[in-house]
């Protein structure tokens, strides 16, 4: 019977794909984004903290994570949950103390886990001492921020131009004390620093030095593209996408993002990092088109984040779309650089909520096998999904500013709920049944402890793949990808002497029978390393004949050559 099914796939789809050889100096590891409010609460106040992270460092070791990035833990009024910093050199008491931080750093390093800080250079909190002094016009702070007197229109004072804030409305806010407007590309409480001021540039280098001296392994730079604005303060052209002048998409950002000095500042930061003996990483948050994004590689950053699996894939994407996204990065990235893949963060709906579970598994599988750095947003390793948050429970400033009618489309709360450790109170996140955001109600079954016991859980897949990523042989292995069917995508890593691995994801609704002989040099029989669907078609740990391999609908199959010696653990 099975043979008959095989003959039905008479028309082989056109096989497209890429091959790519990792450069020798490639940075290749799995990086995990901790959103500290939601990872683990150690003291029962319902908010995650540094001691909570220390308690749960084993999770990173077990999950083969080699570096973590902490979303901001600095002193902050928490209007934007830490992205509004009032002191760059202090720990906010909600997260703990500097001693806690130092202990965390030491405990992480003892496990060979690197720690990256979130560097937020574009803006401070309006409660920062610098802003308070700037407001009063005290030199040199008077020029620390972007002030403008505005212009007169029919006898009325109006903002200097039509620039729009990311959080809706004019990017300009009037202050009586200064008789001027200040610029805020994000919320009103996040005034933009003025990078034309040498004092500001010096202060921020000093912030980098402060944390590097403590021993951190580098930085992930927040909102990089917004650093400098054009000094002429001209109106930005209208995009035509919306008639609402308060909507961020109203204008095209030719004067407020990716200005040349924004690129030029990176080498000056790199110099600070390179004074240290250990390698220090510099990764940039950049949401832009391919050419503006790739340009950041040329200025001394390890890489600009690659968000294309977030911005360019949908619930309808097929295997060729995935292929296109993967291919575009390798095709456009400058020679010899490190690629990277980010599949989620605290500003985006969760991977499964965006793409549905079968596609999400395909993406998780694909990126974990791609050379370079992959970034896992906390909870993605167990397949957490967005939680519905009522208007009454909404705390995100973007959601709140949108108002009761529109908050559901802009609030970022749904993707920030507490990590689901087990099926106890508050999913084991806190001893407190009341947490800063409600725990997702699916936690009784969707939690780490449960998934560790299930062979085909999301976590099992993640753990199996991340173990492969750690192997030195695979870090150097050639990448080959192929579209095998409309909804079947394959990623292979091939070595000459240590064997090869082939991961095939079928995110379609029907089983697919694929012929793996489209891969050059593939042996005629392969072993099953992992299969997310256990069935009689594909028993676990069996030997597979490569010419007709059934990939069950909505499943992932990972196969290795018999000589593979990177799967020894």
Ligand X SMILES: *[C@@H]1O[C@H](CO)[C@@H](O)[C@H](O)[C@H]1NC(C)=O
Q: What is the enclosing helix (H) or strand (E) of 19?
A: strand 17-20
Q: Please give the angle made by the CA atoms of 20, 25 and 31, to the nearest 5 degrees.
A: 85
Asked if 9 and 513 touch (Cβ cutoff 8 Å), the reply is yes
Residue 432 engages Ca ion in binding (rule: CB under 5 A): no
> With CB cut-offs between 5 and 8 Å by kind, which of Ca ion, ligand X, none does residue 186 bind?
ligand X
- Nearest approach, Cβ of residue 538 and ligand X (Å): 32
Residue 227 engages ligand X in binding (rule: CB under 6 A): no
**What mask of x and - would describe binding to ligand X in positions 409 to 448, judged by CB under 6 A?**
----------------------------------------
CA distances (Å), 456 to each of 168, 513, 532, 533, in order? 43, 21, 5, 7
**What mask of x and - would describe binding to ligand X in positions 181 to 210, judged by CB under 6 A?**
-----x------------------------
Q: Which residues contact 63 (CB under 8 A, 6 or more apart)?
A: 30, 32, 381, 462, 463, 466
Residue 111 engages ligand X in binding (rule: CB under 6 A): yes
Q: Choose which of 45, 197, 268, 410 interacts with Ca ion (CB under 5 A).
A: 45
Alpha-carbon span 520 to 478, nearest angstrom: 12
Report residue 77 as tokens.
Answer: 């009024």
- In this complex, which beta carbon is closest to ligand X, that of residue 224 or of residue 513? 224
- In this complex, which beta carbon is closest to ligand X, that of residue 148 or of residue 470? 470
Q: Choose which of 98, 234, 290, 534 interacts with ligand X (CB under 6 A).
A: 290
Which of 315, 341, 345, 348 lies closest to 326 in space, CA to CA? 341
DSSP letter for 248, please: G
- Nearest approach, Cβ of residue 226 and Ca ion (Å): 5
CA distances (Å), 410 to each of 78, 84, 124, 168, 355, in order? 18, 19, 23, 11, 18
Please pick, among 100, 222, 396, 451, the residue that the annotation labels catalytic: 222
Residue 78 engages Ca ion in binding (rule: CB under 5 A): no
Q: Which stretch, 233-241, 322-330, 479-487, 547-555, contacts ligand X (CB under 6 A)?
A: 322-330
> With CB cut-offs between 5 and 8 Å by kind, which of ligand X, Ca ion, none does residue 515 bind?
none
Query: 3-class DSSP state for residue 298?
Result: helix
**What mask of x and - would describe binding to ligand X in positions 325 to 364, judged by CB under 6 A?**
x--x----------------xxx-----------------
- In this complex, which beta carbon is closest to Ca ion, that of residue 182 or of residue 458? 182
Q: Which residues contact 294 (CB under 8 A, 6 or more apart)?
A: 304, 332, 333, 334
Q: What is the enclosing helix (H) or strand (E) of 409?
A: helix 397-410
Alpha-carbon span 380 to 360, nearest angstrom: 10
- In this complex, which beta carbon is closest to Ca ion, that of residue 228 or of residue 519? 228
- In this complex, which beta carbon is closest to Ca ion, that of residue 122 or of residue 165? 122
Which of 292, 285, 367, 356 lies closest to 322 in space, CA to CA? 367
Is residue 140 reached through a cis peptide bond, with omega within 30 degrees of 0 on the bond before it?
Answer: yes
Interface positions, 117-156, toward Ca ion (CB under 5 A): 122
Sheet holding 525-531, edge to edge: 17-20, 478-485, 488-494, 500-506, 555-560, 525-531, 543-545
> With CB cut-offs between 5 and 8 Å by kind, which of Ca ion, ligand X, none does residue 188 bind?
none
Please pick, among 217, 285, 381, 396, the residue that the annotation labels catalytic: 285
- Provide the 10 A C-beta neighbour count for residue 309: 23
62 is annotated as an active-site residue: no
Report residue 61 as tokens.
Answer: 């070791």
Q: Choose which of 41, 222, 229, 387 interacts with ligand X (CB under 6 A).
A: 222
Q: Choose which of 223, 266, 446, 558 interacts with ligand X (CB under 6 A).
A: 223
Query: Cα 385 to chain center, whole Å?
Result: 15
Residue 41 engages Ca ion in binding (rule: CB under 5 A): yes
Q: Please, which residues bridge with residue 118 across strands?
A: 220
Residue 174 engages ligand X in binding (rule: CB under 6 A): no
Residue 312 engages ligand X in binding (rule: CB under 6 A): yes
- Nearest approach, Cβ of residue 384 and ligand X (Å): 17
Calculate helix-pair angle for 198-214, 98-110, nearest 10 degrees.
Answer: 60
Strand locations in 274-359, DSSP E?
Answer: 281-284, 303-304, 340-342
Q: Which stretch, 270-278, 290-298, 450-458, 461-469, contacts ligand X (CB under 6 A)?
A: 290-298
Residue 413 engages Ca ion in binding (rule: CB under 5 A): no
Residue 39 engages Ca ion in binding (rule: CB under 5 A): no
Longest alpha-carbon distance in the chain = 84
Tell me the helices (H) and strands (E) count for the chain, helix number first: 18, 24
- Provide the 10 A C-beta neighbour count for residue 20: 18
- In this complex, which beta carbon is closest to ligand X, that of residue 33 or of residue 512? 33
> With CB cut-offs between 5 and 8 Å by kind, which of Ca ion, ligand X, none does residue 41 bind?
Ca ion
Size of the site for ligand X (CB under 6 A): 22
**What mask of x and - would describe binding to ligand X in positions 56 to 95, judged by CB under 6 A?**
------------------------x--x------------
- Nearest approach, Cβ of residue 52 and Ca ion (Å): 7
Residue 43 engages Ca ion in binding (rule: CB under 5 A): yes
Alpha-carbon span 31 to 68, nearest angstrom: 5
Q: Which residues contact 253 (CB under 8 A, 6 or more apart)?
A: 236
**What mask of x and - would describe binding to ligand X in positions 112 to 151, judged by CB under 6 A?**
x-------x-------------------------------
Given the structure tokens 């002191």, which residue do they identify? 87
509 is annotated as an active-site residue: no
Residue 108 engages ligand X in binding (rule: CB under 6 A): no
Interface positions, 248-287, toward ligand X (CB under 6 A): 258, 285
> With CB cut-offs between 5 and 8 Å by kind, which of Ca ion, ligand X, none does residue 226 bind?
Ca ion
Residues in contact with ligand X by the rule CB under 6 A: 80, 83, 111-112, 120, 186, 222-223, 258, 285, 289-292, 308, 312, 324-325, 328, 345-347
Q: Catalytic positions, please? A: 222, 285
Residues in contact with Ca ion by the rule CB under 5 A: 41, 43, 45, 47, 49, 122, 192, 226
């Amino acid at each position: 019977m099975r043979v008959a099914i095989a003959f039905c796939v008479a028309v082989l789809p056109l096989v497209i794909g890429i091959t790519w050889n990792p450069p020798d100096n490639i940075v290749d590891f799995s990086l995990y984004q901790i959103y500290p409010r939601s990872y683990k609460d150690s003291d029962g106040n319902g908010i995650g903290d540094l001691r909570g992270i220390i308690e749960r460092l084993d999770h990173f070791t077990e999950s083969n994570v080699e570096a973590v990035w902490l979303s901001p833990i600095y002193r902050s009024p928490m209007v934007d949950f830490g992205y509004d910093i009032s002191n760059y050199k202090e720990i906010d008491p909600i997260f703990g103390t500097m001693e806690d931080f130092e202990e965390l750093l030491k405990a992480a390093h003892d496990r060979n886990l690197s720690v990256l800080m979130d560097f937020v250079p574009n803006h401070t909190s309006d409660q920062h001492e610098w802003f308070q002094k700037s407001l009063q016009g005290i030199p040199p702070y008077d020029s620390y921020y972007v002030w403008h007197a505005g212009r007169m229109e029919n006898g009325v004072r109006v903002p200097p131009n039509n620039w729009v804030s990311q959080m809706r409305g004019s990017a300009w806010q009037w202050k009586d004390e200064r008789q001027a407007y200040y610029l805020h590309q994000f919320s009103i409480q996040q005034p933009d620093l003025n990078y034309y001021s040498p004092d500001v540039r010096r202060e921020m280098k000093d912030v980098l030095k402060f944390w590097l001296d403590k021993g951190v392994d580098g930085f992930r730079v927040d909102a990089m593209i917004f650093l400098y604005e054009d000094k002429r303060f001209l109106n930005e052209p209208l995009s035509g996408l919306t008639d609402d002048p308060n909507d961020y998409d109203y204008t095209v950002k030719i004067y407020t993002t990716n200005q040349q000095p924004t690129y030029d500042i990176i080498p000056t930061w790199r110099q600070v990092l390179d004074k240290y003996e250990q390698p220090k990483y510099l990764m940039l948050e950049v949401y832009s088109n391919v050419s503006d994004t790739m340009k950041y590689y040329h200025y001394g950053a390890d890489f600009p984040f690659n968000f294309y699996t977030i911005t360019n894939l949908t619930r309808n994407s097929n295997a060729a779309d995935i292929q296109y996204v993967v291919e575009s990065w390798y095709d456009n990235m400058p020679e010899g650089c490190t690629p990277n893949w980010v599949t989620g963060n605290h500003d985006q709906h969760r991977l499964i909520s965006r793409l549905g579970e079968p596609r999400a598994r395909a993406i998780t599988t694909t990126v974990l096998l791609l050379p370079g750095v992959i970034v896992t947003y906390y909870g993605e390793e167990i397949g957490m999904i967005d939680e519905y948050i009522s208007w009454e429970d909404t705390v995100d400033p973007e959601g709140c500013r949108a108002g009761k009618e529109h908050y559901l489309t802009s609030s970022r709360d749904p993707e920030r709920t507490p990590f689901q450790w087990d099926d106890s109170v508050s999913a084991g996140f806190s001893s407190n049944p009341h947490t800063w955001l409600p725990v997702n109600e699916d936690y009784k079954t969707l939690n780490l402890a449960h998934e560790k016991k299930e062979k085909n859980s999301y976590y099992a897949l993640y753990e199996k793949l991340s173990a492969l990523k750690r192997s030195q042989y695979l870090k150097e292995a050639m990448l080959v990808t192929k579209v095998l069917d409309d909804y079947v995508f394959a990623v292979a890593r091939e070595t000459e002497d240590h064997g090869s691995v082939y991961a095939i994801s079928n995110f379609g609704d029907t089983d697919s029978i694929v012929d793996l002989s489209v891969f050059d040099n593939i042996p005629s029989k392969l072993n099953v390393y992992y299969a997310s669907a256990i069935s009689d078609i594909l028993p676990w740990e069996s030997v597979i004949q490569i010419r007709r391999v059934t990939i069950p609908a909505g499943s992932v199959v990972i196969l290795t050559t018999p000589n593979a010696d990177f799967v020894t653990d």
